[in-house]
């Protein structure tokens, strides 16, 4: 902190679980012959007092706009709608920030707006020792401020020649230059100038007054690539990418300014994002969860007669494709889709949360399409959209595993296997342990005749009645099913957003990667288990290439030397519903988790809930912003010294094949 700067006397930054009320979208000024309502002195006084008291502020600004101050912070992002011309979409580049103002540039509103800005700046500059205003506006011509492809983003930064924030300007320029649309990086110009405001509008705060208030001002002219200049037609996906990139650049800029010029010390640039969540977010989260809870995808595509079909398949000497039965659908996918796309995701202001919920909406749509296509050739194509196919590197790894790991092993002795009842008792004991630590654990165990194997569904462990688990694998599967799947479900339920217990798009891959890793951490990851994961990848590959059920079964049985019942189980899983590629995520997820940990990633953020690999940075951002709460549970195995040693070994760098090499006591 520089000399002479005061420490803030305002309340410190703190998490707020209570939602701010959602304000409607700012409306365009109503054209009328009546006198337009202006910003009053009482309005300005209310703004000043709430900011001084450290309270959240969210008010409509007459005749159009909004002032939003999430909490005391030494910056403000501003957009003024230019009078006399359309400027659709620009306001949404601003509204995701923790402190922002949207306002009309109308002549009669200018004095009142300046009073509001000065009330905020004066109060917070005194508290933090300095303040930064960043004003955004659109370029008058779409080709400005840069030439090049029409979709190439472009920015021109305006700063005063004699300002004292050169490092902050450099951070802004570099961050904006990272914005990329359709493969084109942004063109960025920095223009030292005396005019730091939009053309045709006066300064928000006069230069002398800004200096007296300890306020620095930056201007950003934005090339409006999110709309067509001639027709005014908008490009929503371009806008989403631009919004996220601009928001990230603004936070990095404010972080540099805050750390170097003020008394505030945020731990990370993402900590400068919004803490409070508006009502629209809770509404969207609730409605998405309602759609997701209306069906259980895996149960709906899993056969109910697996054992009976096996007996018939064996009786026919493995020559005839088995006939499987499935559960009747409890929903009409078309009606569920109608409800799904009525959910107003577009009302979410925060670009990070908007991306999260938009991705979830698309993922649920694909699952509902799969249920509609169950039992048809179209099912496979939907599965490829949801889970992907087998990439060459994963196929090579699967083949290498089956070549190098022997098919006969003593790792899983057939003697002393636990039956379904015995394993259920052990699982219930483990769940009770977690329940003793956190009362929010409500899951249980259920042994079912209509299911084969193990499955966690909404916090409950389902066990097929015919399941037998080798004694050496019991603790590994407890770590997998309870220590990972149930623990992350409970942690997700503890978060303010239900999507973290429902499961974000792509969560299966990360979940199964962590779960398989946990088997290794407790010392129960065996060579037969690794071969099984490789077999699932190959089975998916064969199926996608056009092999039928019998051909995939024969390849596993005869070429790769799997037991006939094992080959049947793998093949059955892969052909669920008409062709489900999900089973490749176990090996792919394990590879991804190893790479993540070896790259310096922490395991704990992955256990907050059910998230996909692409959402790890988003979850970390929401943690910095204190939108998410600390998870109440951590896997029991992480308290085991031997597991910690194995985790350290992983971080130092080992391959998937190294996981099944004997390491003595470690």
Q: What is the pLDDT of residues 318-354, one digit of tens each?
A: 999 999 999 999 999 999 999 999 999 989 988 888 8
Identify any residues that bridge with 132 across adjacent strands, giving them in sequence order: 75, 216
Residue positions counted in the chain: 666
* Range in 248-257, 567-576, 605-614 the model is least confident about: 605-614
Percent of the chain with pLDDT over 90: 76
Confidence band of 144 (pLDDT split at 50, 70, 90):
very low
Integer Cα distance of 524 and 500 in angstroms: 28
CB atoms within 10 A of CB 596: 18
Angle between helices 527-544 and 564-574 (to 10 degrees): 50
- Calculate ∠ Cα 468-472-477, nearest 5°: 65
| Residue keyed to tokens 């803490």 | 275
Whether residue 18 is predicted with pLDDT greater than 90 in this model: the reply is no
Whether residue 303 is predicted with pLDDT greater than 80 in this model: the reply is yes
Integer Cα distance of 23 and 100 in angstroms: 14
CB atoms within 10 A of CB 84: 7
Mean confidence (pLDDT) of the chain: 90
Q: Going by C-beta distance under 8 Å and a sequence separation of 6 or more, which residues neighbour residue 365?
A: 337, 340, 341
Write the Ramachandran bin of 487: left for phi over 0, alpha for psi from -120 to 50, otherwise beta.
alpha
* Residues 37/221, Cβ–Cβ less than 8 Å: no
CB atoms within 10 A of CB 18: 7
Integer-rounded Cα radius of gyration of the chain:
29
pLDDT for the residue numbered 145: 47
Whether residue 229 is predicted with pLDDT greater than 70 in this model: the reply is yes
Q: Going by C-beta distance under 8 Å and a sequence separation of 6 or more, which residues neighbour residue 292?
A: 364, 502, 503
Q: Going by C-beta distance under 8 Å and a sequence separation of 6 or more, which residues neighbour residue 412?
A: 470, 472, 473, 526, 528, 529
Q: What is the pLDDT of residues 631-650, one digit of tens each?
A: 999 999 999 999 999 999 99
Angle between helices 279-293 and 333-340 (to 10 degrees): 170
pLDDT for the residue numbered 663: 55
Q: What is the pLDDT of residues 423-442, one digit of tens each?
A: 999 999 999 999 999 999 98
Whether residue 116 is predicted with pLDDT greater than 50 in this model: the reply is yes
Q: What is the pLDDT of residues 375-422, one digit of tens each?
A: 999 999 999 999 999 999 999 999 999 999 998 776 666 567 899 999
Give the helix ranges, DSSP H, for 316-456.
333-340, 351-372, 378-387, 392-404, 420-437
pLDDT for the residue numbered 275: 87
Segment 470-474 shows an average pLDDT of 92
The structural domains of the chain, with segments of one domain joined by +, span 41-276, 296-330+373-660
Confidence band of 294 (pLDDT split at 50, 70, 90):
very high
Whether residue 621 is predicted with pLDDT greater than 50 in this model: the reply is yes
Integer Cα distance of 519 and 525 in angstroms: 5
State the virtual CA torsion across 545, 551, 552, 556 in degrees, nearest 10: -130
Percent of the chain with pLDDT over 70: 91
CB atoms within 10 A of CB 288: 23
* Residues 141/224, Cβ–Cβ less than 8 Å: no
Q: Going by C-beta distance under 8 Å and a sequence separation of 6 or more, which residues neighbour residue 3?
A: none
Strands 99-104 and 75-81: parallel
pLDDT for the residue numbered 369: 97
Integer Cα distance of 157 and 219 in angstroms: 6
* 169-174 long-range contacts, CB within 8 A, separation 24+: 169/218, 171/252, 171/253, 171/255, 171/256, 172/218, 172/220, 172/249, 172/250, 172/252, 172/253
| Residue keyed to tokens 């499987």 | 324
Half-sphere exposure of 416 (CA within 13 A, CB side): 7
Whether residue 471 is predicted with pLDDT greater than 60 in this model: the reply is yes
The CATH code of the domain at 41-276 is 3.40.630
Least Cα distance to 93 among 186, 191, 187, 225 occurs for 225
* Range in 7-11, 201-205, 485-489 the model is least confident about: 7-11
| Residue keyed to tokens 């509001």 | 116
Whether residue 9 is predicted with pLDDT greater than 80 in this model: the reply is no
Whether residue 578 is predicted with pLDDT greater than 90 in this model: the reply is yes
Whether residue 86 is predicted with pLDDT greater than 90 in this model: the reply is no
* Residues 298/580, Cβ–Cβ less than 8 Å: no
Provide the token pair at 380: 């496979």
Q: What is the pLDDT of residues 261-275, one digit of tens each?
A: 999 999 999 999 998
pLDDT for the residue numbered 36: 55
CB atoms within 10 A of CB 660: 20
pLDDT for the residue numbered 230: 79
């Amino acid at each position: 902190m520089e000399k002479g700067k005061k420490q803030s006397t305002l309340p410190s930054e703190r998490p707020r679980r209570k939602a701010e009320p959602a304000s409607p979208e700012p409306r365009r000024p109503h054209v009328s012959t009546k006198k337009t309502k202006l910003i009053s002195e009482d309005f300005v006084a209310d703004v000043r007092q709430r900011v001084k008291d450290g309270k959240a502020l969210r008010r409509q600004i007459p005749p159009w706009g909004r002032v939003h101050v999430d909490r005391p912070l030494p910056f403000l992002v501003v957009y003024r709608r230019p009078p006399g011309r359309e400027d659709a979409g620009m306001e949404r580049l601003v509204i995701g920030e923790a402190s922002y103002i949207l306002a009309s540039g109308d002549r009669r509103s200018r004095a009142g707006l300046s009073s509001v800005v000065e009330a905020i700046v004066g109060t917070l500059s005194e508290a933090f020792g300095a303040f930064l205003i960043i004003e955004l506006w659109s370029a008058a011509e779409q080709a400005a401020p840069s030439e090049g492809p029409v979709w190439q983003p472009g920015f021109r930064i305006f700063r005063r020649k004699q300002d004292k924030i050169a490092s902050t300007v450099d951070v802004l320029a570099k961050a904006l230059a990272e914005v990329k649309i359709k493969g084109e990086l942004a063109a960025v110009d920095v223009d030292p100038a005396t005019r730091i405001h939009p053309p045709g509008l006066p300064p928000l705060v006069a230069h002398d007054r800004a200096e007296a208030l300890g306020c620095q001002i930056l201007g950003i002219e934005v090339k409006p690539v999110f709309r067509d200049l001639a027709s005014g037609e908008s490009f929503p996906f371009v806008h989403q990418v631009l919004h996220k990139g601009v928001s990230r650049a603004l936070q990095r800029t404010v972080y540099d300014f805050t750390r170097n010029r003020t008394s505030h010390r945020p731990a990370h640039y993402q900590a400068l994002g919004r803490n409070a969540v508006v009502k629209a977010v809770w509404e969207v989260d609730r409605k998405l969860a309602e759609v997701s809870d209306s069906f259980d995808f895996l149960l709906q595509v899993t056969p109910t007669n697996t054992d009976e079909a096996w007996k018939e398949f064996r009786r026919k000497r493995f020559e005839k494709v088995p006939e499987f039965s499935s559960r009747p659908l409890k929903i009409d996918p078309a009606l569920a889709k109608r409800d799904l796309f009525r959910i107003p995701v577009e009302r979410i202001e925060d670009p990070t949360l908007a991306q999260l919920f938009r991705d979830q909406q698309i993922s649920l749509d694909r699952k509902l399409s799969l249920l509609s296509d169950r039992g048809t050739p179209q099912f496979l194509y939907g599965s490829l959209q949801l889970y992907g196919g087998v990439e060459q590197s994963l196929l090579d790894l699967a083949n290498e595993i089956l070549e190098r790991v022997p098919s006969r092993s003593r790792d899983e002795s057939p003697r002393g296997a636990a039956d379904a009842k015995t394993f259920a008792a052990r699982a219930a004991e483990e769940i009770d342990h977690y329940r003793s630590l956190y009362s929010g654990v409500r899951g249980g165990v259920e042994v079912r005749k209509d299911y084969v194997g193990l499955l966690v569904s909404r916090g409950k462990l389902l066990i097929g009645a015919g399941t037998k688990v080798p004694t050496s694998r019991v603790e590994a599967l407890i770590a997998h099913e309870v220590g990972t799947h149930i623990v992350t479900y409970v942690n997700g339920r503890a978060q303010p957003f239900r999507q973290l217990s429902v499961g974000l798009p792509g969560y299966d891959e990360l979940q199964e990667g962590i779960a398989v890793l946990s088997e290794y951490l407790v010392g129960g990851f065996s060579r037969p288990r690794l071969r099984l994961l490789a077999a699932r990848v190959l089975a998916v590959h064969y199926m996608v290439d056009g092999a039928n059920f019998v051909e995939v079964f024969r390849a596993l049985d005869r070429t790769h030397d799997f037991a006939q019942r094992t080959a049947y189980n793998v093949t059955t899983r892969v052909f669920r519903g008409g062709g489900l590629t999900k089973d490749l995520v176990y090996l792919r997820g394990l590879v991804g988790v190893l790479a993540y940990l070896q790259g310096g990633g922490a395991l704990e953020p992955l256990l907050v809930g059910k998230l996909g690999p692409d959402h790890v940075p988003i979850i970390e951002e929401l943690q910095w912003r204190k939108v998410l709460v600390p998870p109440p549970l951590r896997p029991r195995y992480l308290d085991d010294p031997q597991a910690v040693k194995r985790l350290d070994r992983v971080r130092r760098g080992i391959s998937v094949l190294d996981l099944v090499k004997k390491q003595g006591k470690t």
